[in-house]
Each structure stands twice: as C-alpha cells, then as structure tokens.
Amino acid sequence: MQEQLRKSDRLNLIGELAAGIAHEIRNPMTALKGFIQLLEPSIKAQHSMYYDVITSELARMDSIINEFLILAKPQETKFQEKDICQIMRETVELLSPQAVLYNVQFHTHYEDQLPYVYCEPNQLKKVFINLIKNAIEVMPNGGEITIAINSIKDQYIVISIRDEGTGIPKDKIKKLGEPFYTTKEKGTGLGLMVSYRIIEEHNGSMEVESEEGIGTLFKIRIPLNHLTKK
C-alpha cells in the first residue's frame, strides 16, 4: 500500500513537469526534423551514417515526448461499461504480427459471463499493449504468453498476463514504473509509468511477481464497484 502511495505522488509531480517540458521541446524538435529533411541530399552524400543516427535519435526523442504528452494530458477520456475481454481480444489481434516475429504464442482464458467493467477502453487497451509488448520483448527466442481474465466475487476483475521471459531481479522490481527505467537499448522506460497511472485512474492496482529465468506475471485488479464511477 505504501509503495502505491509513493508511486502516485511521484506520478502527479511527473505529470505536471511533463506538460511543460513536452510542449517546450516539441516546437524546436519540429524545426530540427524539418531542416534535417531539407539537408538530406547533401548530408547523405558525405555522411550517410551521421544522417541515419540523427534521424533515428530524433525519432526516439519523438516517441519519448509523445509518451510524456499522453501521461501529462490523457486524451479526452470517456468512461463507459465495457466488455474487457473484447478489449483484450482486439489487443491480442493487434500484436499478433509482432508475436509471430518473435515466435511467441498466446494462450487466453476468459471466464464466462464476466460482468462489464466501467472503464476507459482506449486507455485500458494502452495498458494491455504496453504489458504484452514487454512480455514479447523479453522472449527473443519465443515462448508463451498466458492471458487470463476472471472476476472475484463480483467485486473485482483480475487481468493477468504471464510470460516465460528473462524475469526481473528482485532489487529491480521497485524500479518498475519509474520514469526512464529501462533495460532495453531502444526502450523509453515510460510504458509502465503510463500503465500504472491509467490503472490508478480506474481505482485499480497492478502487482508484479517475477522470477529470474522463469518469467513474470503482471496482475491488474479493477474494482467493479459502480459507486466509484467518475
């Protein structure tokens, strides 16, 4: 519980900072991208490698800023009663090509007749995409991702996403959700931060269980208490 409180304080502060920084950086970035494009023919002829580095680093800045903006200013949200399994099915379909590429198989178990959940479907989808992408990325040699959705006593919906990847060292678990914490060469370290934030907006929680060399389980709980409607 304490850990969650700490995270939410941190998220608020980051959100405020993000709004300012992202906007300030975006305009000069657009100018840079434009001019670099204009210079393409001349730079490419002599310094093709530099050009590639510049454009790929610019693209990386772009993705960091975009994720920051999502965090600072969630798009217009529309909470509604939704079938969570449907959102998950769409997510799995969306990520299937990437899974095939990594030789990853999905196993899904959806409880029958699950109650609808009061949620922001696009935001929840974003969380599912982040978690499943992470799961795929830690299994470069393939494996299985097991996704289950159940209800507990009609009070909670529990969504679990389990992978057979590298796992997370015990001392690193507390770093999950910290801005820019990434172990990937091309990572932003923002996906989990955004995900924690979204689940919090659903009055839910997200837990992680992990064992190195065995895999990781992310477990999201969302209350079905309709009194919590926003």
Please enumerate in sequence order all residues whose Cβ is within 8 A of that of 159, keeping only pairs 6 or more positions apart, or say none. 84, 88, 128, 147, 148, 149, 219, 220, 222
Of 191, 197, 220, 221, the residue at the interface with ligand ADP (CB under 6 A) is 191
CB-nearest residue to Mg ion? 191
SS3 125: helix
Contact, 80 vs 116, CB < 8 A?
no
Of 192, 199, 206, 222, the residue at the interface with ligand ADP (CB under 6 A) is 192
Token readout for 184 is 């990937």
Of 147, 168, 199, 206, the residue at the interface with ligand ADP (CB under 6 A) is 168
Q: Would you give the binding string for ligand ADP spanning residues 73-112, x where CB under 6 A is met?
A: ----------------------------------------
Pairing of strands 117-119, 80-82: antiparallel
- The residue among 194, 104, 100 whose CA lies nearest residue 145 is 104
Question: Least distance (Å) from Mg ion to the CB of residue 191?
Answer: 3
**Candidate segments 5-13, 142-150, 165-173, 184-192, binder of Mg ion by CB under 5 A:** 184-192
| Window 33 to 92, contacts with Mg ion (CB under 5 A) | none
Cβ closest to Mg ion, residue 18 vs residue 117: 18
Q: Using a CB cutoff of 8 Å and minimum separation of 24, what contacts does 59-65 make?
A: 60/186, 60/188, 61/25, 61/29, 62/29, 62/33, 63/188, 64/188, 64/190, 65/22, 65/25, 65/26, 65/29
Cβ closest to Mg ion, residue 91 vs residue 117: 91
SS3 49: helix
> Is 183 among the residues that bind ligand ADP (CB under 6 A)?
yes
Burial label, 187 (beta-carbon count in 10 A; 0-12, 13-18, 19+)? middle
CA dist 164 → 108, 145, 192 (Å): 15, 7, 19
**Candidate segments 19-27, 40-48, 109-117, 131-139, binder of Mg ion by CB under 5 A:** 131-139
User: Helices 191-201 & 121-137, crossing angle to 10 degrees?
Assistant: 150
Of 216, 220, 221, 222, the residue at the interface with ligand ADP (CB under 6 A) is 216
Residue 182 binding result from Mg ion, ligand ADP, none, given CB thresholds of 5 to 8 Å by partner type: ligand ADP
Question: Least distance (Å) from Mg ion to the CB of residue 13?
Answer: 22
Cβ closest to Mg ion, residue 177 vs residue 191: 191
Q: Footprint of ligand ADP on this chain (CB under 6 A)?
A: 130, 134-135, 138, 163, 165-166, 168, 176, 181-184, 187-192, 216
For binding to Mg ion (CB under 5 A), which residues are involved?
134, 191
